[in-house]
Amino acid sequence: MRVLHVTPCYPPTWAYGGIPRVVHALARAQRSQGIGVRVWTTDAFDADSRASVPSRREESGIDVRVTRLASNRLAWRHQLYVPTALPPLDDVDVVHLHSHRHLLNWLAFHAARSRGIPVVLTPNGTAPRLERKVFVKRAWDTLFDGDVPTRADHVIAVSKAEVRQLLALGVSADRIERIPNPIHLEEFAELPARGSFRAAQGLGAGPIVAYLGQITPRKGVERLVAAFGEGLAGATLVVAGAARGMALPESPHVRYTGTLEGPDRLALLVDADVLVYPSTDEIFGLVPLEGLLCGAPVIVGGDCGCGELIGEAGAGLLTRVGDAAELRAHIHTLLADRERASAMVERGRRYVTAHLDPARVAGAHIELYQRMLRA
């Protein structure tokens, strides 16, 4: 069996959020279980540059095909990924689309349909018209691939919250499969020494409260800065990520680092005394789960899939969207009660290891592919 993963971004691209990390972990785990894996992606990298990668490479047995974008600017500013090549469907048995509303999916979906190749979609929270450019998304759905979720052979929901989203969009329950995202556990086997991020940034001895991820209105960074107010127990708020279409609120107690990658990213998670992820409509939320693997106690928005997972694991505190007093109180709680915080972290580590191991998640995907091929 050979699967084609279609994703607009793939490592070494990290500035576009969690989907590249998810696809990378899944592809590696599937290849290690013996199936053929191909990835079709673009050279998107960040706001100012393209990924310096060949158009075709083999990586850990994965056949990675990279199409050059017609415009890097359109990709970064408007998430309009215009490929300059067609999807490589030769010898492909299953097409697995990642994210929603991009031209790679549209091309791959229709090419697969014309060849009778089954298609599965993992929207990872992108199926509803949320947050930015809602009018543009409505127009896109009318002109292009708005019906892909209802026409794909199967749609994967990564949480119960996403199941509800898909049902509301008209996806029939018998075509929805709930499979969580994988977390690449090997990445967290050897962590940076505690204190390395603090020293590199000159942060002193005070507590570090951290946010790591894209900076968009939905992510709640402005609410977190507001909750921090005039300072909080001598702590510094570190905000790490790329700002996407919004100005960064100024505060003397906030340090903005931009996108962090590799060891720098892990070093922040290791040094974080509290990791806050106050996003709304977050259908999964990789960062808090990765933070737990690095020893960081977490606070997450309680109205979404991320809160669902953290609550199920008993691995952190949940906060109501817009309740700055509650968020501030939760930060105080985790900074003051380190025994309670450590217990949450330990429960979170056990949950991630038991449920989100890439081998387990990849096996669930392969079983779904096999059912699709037998249908």
* pLDDT, tens digit, 9 for 90 and up, residues 184-215: 999 999 999 999 999 999 998 999 999 998 88
Provide the greatest CA pair distance for the chain. 62
| Nearby residues of 366 by Cβ (< 8 Å), 6 or more positions away | 1, 30, 33, 35
Dig out the tokens for 296 from the structure.
């960081």
CB 259 within 8 A of CB 14: yes
Dihedral over alpha carbons 24, 26, 30, 36 (to 10 degrees): -50
In the numeric block, the tokens 């509290």 are attached to 274
CA dihedral of residues 263, 291, 212, 156 (deg, nearest 10): 110
Phi, psi of 56 (to 5 degrees): -150, 135
Average pLDDT score over the chain = 91
The pLDDT tens digits for 67-89 are 999 999 988 888 788 999 999 99
Percent of the chain with pLDDT over 70: 94
Cβ–Cβ < 8 Å for 333, 327: no
What pLDDT does 140 receive? Answer: 64
Beta pairing, strands 208-212 & 236-240: parallel
Residue 228 has pLDDT above 90, yes or no: no
Angstrom distance (rounded) from CA 217 to CA 77: 15
- Residue 59 forms beta bridges with which residues? 62
Rg (CA), the chain: 20
* Model-wide pTM > 0.75: yes
Strands 56-59 and 2-6: unpaired
Q: What is the mean pLDDT of residues 30-37?
A: 98
- Is 42 in contact with 104 (CB distance < 8 Å)? yes
Other Cβ atoms less than 10 A from the Cβ of 234: the count is: 11
Neighbouring CB atoms inside 10 A of 202's CB total 7
Query: In this predicted structure, what is the pLDDT of residue 279?
Result: 83
For residue 238, give the H/E element and its range: strand 236-240
Say if residue 131's pLDDT is above 60: no
The pLDDT of residue 37: 99
pLDDT, one tens digit per residue, over 256-277 is: 999 898 999 999 999 999 999 9
CATH class of 187-355: alpha beta
CATH 3.40.50.2000 residue ranges of the chain are 2-182+357-374, 187-355
For residue 152 the two structure tokens come to 């794909």
Please state which of the four CATH numbers 3.40.50.2000, 3.30.413.10, 3.40.50.300, 3.30.420.40 is assigned to the domain occupying 2-182+357-374: 3.40.50.2000
Place 247 in a pLDDT band, splitting at 50, 70 and 90. confident
Using the Cα atoms of residue 141, residue 285, residue 351 and residue 304 in order, give the sign of their dihedral.
negative
- The pLDDT value recorded for residue 277 is 92
CA–CA dist 221, 227 (Å, integer): 10
Position with higher pLDDT, 250 vs 132: 250
Report the SS3 class of residue 108. helix
